[in-house]
A and B are shown apart, each in its own frame.
Chain A
Amino acid sequence: MAQDIPDKNIPDRQPPVSQVGVIGWMCKNLLCPWYNAVLTLVSCWAIWAAVAPFWEWAVTNASITLDPAAAKEHTGAAWGFIRDMWPVFMTGVYPAEERWRPLIALCIVVILVSLSLVSSFRRSKWIRVLWFASPIVVFALVYGGGITGLPVVGTHYWGGLMLTIMLSIIAMLAAFPISVLLALGRTSDMPIAKPFCVAYIELIRGVPLITLLFMASVVLPLFLPSGMELDKVLRAIVGITMFFSAYLAENIRGGLQGISKGQYEAADALGMGYWKKTLVVILPQALRIVIPPMVNNFIGILKDTSLVGIVGLVDLLQIAFATTSNPKWFGRLEEAYVFIAFWYWILCYALSSYSQYLERKMPSASK
């Protein structure tokens, strides 16, 4: 029997060319049944129709000169406008000689974020202290006055990307404790506090942000004692905070409901009081589950701060109108929008990728 088996190894038969390699891949994913090829053609046409004019406008026919007259000779984009105006897009009408202050504030935040990404630093007490101190430091730097000895730059000078980011971060920080309280109230069985929280959350979730912004900017001054003036930026923050605390509360409620009953009972059995139980046992677990939806919430805030333009603040989006009504670069709205869209998109896409990464990393949160 053994002799029957030839010594030579029979070479493995190669799989058919149409199933592996480049050709196989193309056949499977682009061409093979005839309708797939049609779809490929249609997609190619759609990409061509969208990208070709944009490429022509943004690259082929574009100019980058700082001279508006020279830019007019090109039919495409005048990127010189962005080169000329980008500090305004970043900080609005913040005085030019003070622009180093927001820059340093930005550096502080970036350094803090990158330090937190290093896991050995993340657990240290110092970084927490720095995180808690950073909003005050940033505000003191940007606003000035007080002990800093810097000239005061009032909030009506704030604008651009700086205002957008500050509004969203402050609103998030302010909405967080409110929403935790609202979520706790909604999941509690207190006969007065619970309906109160439910009513607040449902009322706010039922109305558009713009009506809340109008309320904060037009009605809120009427509610305050006469003589007391609220800053315009502060009023917008109040509106955004009210709005997002309701949405955030619903997310946190989801996290609270995701905690098993045994955790509550174990804490009770250890003789913990309500606040100790909530702060030490329940919230740390509940909040960890809801970090990805909270990041999505923050993306929502970041995008929706663009509405503050309607009540008269000059955020990143409104800067487009402010800069293009300037006679030097009159009517360069396309370039401005592309630049703004680029910033919003980068920020939101980075955040949403981060939230997806967190979701994947979190085995306990998966159902």
Chain B
Amino acid sequence: MTDVTQIIPQAPYAFGFTEDHELARKEARRYLNEHVTREHVRAQYEDPRGFDKELYRQTLELGWLGLSVPEQYGGAGLDALHLLLLWEELGRALYPSPLFASALAVEALLRGRHEAQRGQYLPEILSGNVIATFAYAEPGGAWGSDQVSCRAEPKEGSWVLSGTKVNVPFAASAGLLIAPAIDHKGELGLFLLELPAAGIELTPEVSVDPTRRSARVELDRVKVPHGARIQGDGRAIFQRVCSLGYALLAAEMVGAAEATMLMTRDYANDRQQFGRAIGSFQAVKHPIVNAMVQIELARSLVLGAASAMSSTEAIDRPEIAEHATRMAKAFAEEALSFTVQRGVQLHGGFGFTWDCDVQLYFKRMLWTRATLGDSTEHRQALAKVLFG
């Protein structure tokens, strides 16, 4: 019997945590505490763009987008652990920015086999001159690479794309959109579309989480040059982009859940009823403990995902990283969902108000659950690993 349960490296040394990781995490936390306060987050709710462009540029100067991009393309070439520790901090702070959208686009470019495309786009994206995004979703509950219905037809040395993409993150701010589409041979290709362009119609969506803006994108016979198709196995590249996305979102959710749990803990310590702090009541204490336990397990899965992504085996067997990151996202979503719900409930009447910051995390949970597959979707995919 193939032992499919042993997919994630589990030795302590497999995590590869070093002093450098610790310093980088501390520095990121310090920076975010200073610049991305809850007031800043709330201010972005009202902002037409949904993020502070200058701050975004600064965070790119800190190297946050290029953290695990090879140095030859202007990145820092660090491992996945560095990346996910940073994203946990981003989730804790709810940093409103197109970092996620661009990170997926960068991954697609890196996984392709076209040096010229990388050379052309990566420096622009990593410096913040161009915001890039990746159109992972389509109408009809389509999250995965096997559910793409956008079409790409060859015509006179060009590709002509038609179809609808939804939930495209920060599309309204983007100068580059990467869109998966099925070609005339039934193969999946990833196409680079520069924005704005004739035939591309953007309709901003009303996002449940205003720190994560998105748009519906209609492609109506959009013509792109032949070289705008990313070279390589489109389906495999799409999955690798998704796997990275699962990991980033899982790490973010752990940070978001941690922040919510601590907020709730502090409230339970301060709030007095019946002459004592409500945190002394087991009916209040135990749900907070349950949240912490879920968060620690989710964090363990995220760290496992990092080691799976960096493991040498994963180079030849990308499904190792796919499974590990799916697990992390599925579990972290449930941990965050539980934590924000208990967070609202245990803050009582105040928790039900706009003023209580738990709502910011509640919205992030709903957005993240709906992005790149919810926990049910991931468990269905993992069931195929166990049972075929």
Indicate, yes or no, whether A interacts with B.
no
